[in-house]
A and B are shown apart, each in its own frame.
Chain A
């Protein structure tokens, strides 16, 4: 009797604790459309850094609420928007306009301007955002840390 009552109490106390710890998992469904700015900001044929605020931010995120992405304007309304996170281990890749390559400072992953893998350890090309152009504004769908398990 005493043991089963204690066990019941332990289960009842344990459920909310486990649920609390795994709470963030449900957040996966959360992806939001984010405005990156006017299309005119991104010259055709060029790749530019754009920043936005994490749509799922909390008040105490500070500088980490900001997220960066690389926007390549291929044609008039045709874009490619890449996550800055290298597909290998997530370090920030940098764009080199002259050689038209993205390079990663951590383990030397290199990508071509269309995001495809050029050399180094990355197992795939850069993570690409879904995008839309609405009324002259560029929108992307994001809000998650891009990884091999869950691209943006």
Chain B
């Protein structure tokens, strides 16, 4: 045993004498960091990097089998899922790893923001970080295109439709993006090149810059209320603090980073083992028109926004609002480079972060439910509730058939089943009178199509007769409002 150790030591000595790597790395690894930064709050950055390395490793593995050709990509994914040893598992790890990377990166950004770490002299670290965020989202979008299923095809359609809204250059953008006149083979090749060469290359370079800046400027100290950042004094004060009360990064602070790295990887492996890979969902054949495309979760909030914004604001929000929001994100350290770092003294910053989180998660939750989407198979898949047909007259039953067959329930629910685009029809008779029902059906309005040309008078008559039965027994039907009298004047 001592012999082996001695032999290893002499090999290491031989290498070190020639490369000098250990001599160069050791002082970097053991540099002193502020004592309180050896904290669980400071692990998210290294955890994101760990996940990025996992993505590279699994991504290279997948690229060994995946065929980036529009006619065979789908089959190669099925081969990965069904035949390749560990193929399905590695696809799952890559998918869950990407989710985890976006999630942990978000935690990192929040921590850095709330701890004021972007302030002087670390402005460039933040700016490089925002570029890394954009690259990661770019990886997420291009990655879901490589899945080359129906979601990928129509996701490209959505991307192209957004690009097309740019004034003057819209058409050019669409063609550069698609690599041709339409979504097809050349499009997939472009996105493959982006996903495996262009964006990862940028991300690796940016990661190098980001880590270099962290080493050069030091880990952000634990923010103390009342301890303001001042350009003249900050650096000397930081150095003095680290000299007086620092701990070496290796082996002290790095312990928690290693625990966090292990935990995120184990979580990704567990998710991959339990939930498996995502898709591919359906051959990307655009003649299959019963596709209902949905984006992966990172873009669900954008998807929801596009349904909920007033239509006339959409182009402005996409082409002006989003770039401005990204510019503001870049400009955060330039807008507030000095002053308080502690979240306890930065109520506007804390509230802004909470507000953004709340908006994004609410929109994403709405994106999952997508109440604005018609239930496309309602007329064939949903039964009319029995209670609504019992004891009804033949005319009313005819109306129930109209509700069913004319796709009313694509947008209106009955007995809790059906679309949520329009109001539920249970109890509609307590809200609308016969005349109002007829008007609404014939003329539409309030985001409902007009059915005047699509229903015969007999069908309208039956439909309205049925709708008038839809009210709880203990509630009166709607009545034509009587004109309000002016209130009696107080004497």
Q: Name A's B-contacting residues (CB within 8 A).
A: 21-22, 24-25, 27-28, 30, 49, 51, 54, 56-68, 84-85, 88-94, 96, 98-101, 103-108, 110, 112-113, 118-123, 143-145, 147-150
Contact = CB atoms under 8 A, between A and B. Distances in A.
B407 A62 contact: no
Chain B contact surface mostly = loop
B374 A89 contact: no
Interface stretch (B3-11, B162-170, B233-241, B349-357): B162-170
Interface in B128-184: 153-154, 157-158, 160-166, 170-176, 178-184
B286 interface: yes
Contacts of A149: 164-166, 170-171, 173-174
Given A98-B407, A103-B410, A123-B311, A58 B448 contact: no
B81 interface: no
B450 interface: yes
Given A63-B71, A148-B161, A24 B181 contact: yes
Interface string B339-379: 00000000000000000000000000000000011101001
Output the residue of B154, B174, B181, B311 with the most chain A CB within 10 A: B181
A62 B71 contact: yes
Contacts of B306: 88-89, 107, 121
Contacts of A27: 175, 180-181
Interface residues of B, number: 71
Contact of A108 (B72, B173, B287, B374): B374
Contacts of B307: 106-108, 121
Contacts of B475: none
A89 B179 contact: no
A70 to B, nearest CB: 9
B287 A145 contact: no
Given A148-B161, A149-B164, A149-B174, A63 B283 contact: yes
Contacts of A112: 449, 453
B290 interface: yes
Contacts of B162: 89
25 contacts: A24-B176, A59-B185, A60-B185, A61-B184, A63-B70, A63-B285, A64-B284, A64-B285, A66-B286, A68-B286, A85-B157, A92-B286, A92-B291, A94-B290, A94-B376, A100-B453, A103-B376, A106-B303, A112-B449, A119-B444, A119-B447, A119-B448, A121-B307, A145-B182, A149-B173
B181 A56 contact: yes
Contact of B154 (A21, A28, A54, A91): A91
A120 B311 CA distance: 8
Interface string B211-252: 000000000000000000000000000000000000000000
Given A66-B286, A84-B286, A99-B451, A56 B164 contact: no
A103 B454 CA distance: 15
A144 B182 contact: yes
Contacts of B411: 108
B444 A92 contact: no
B39 interface: no
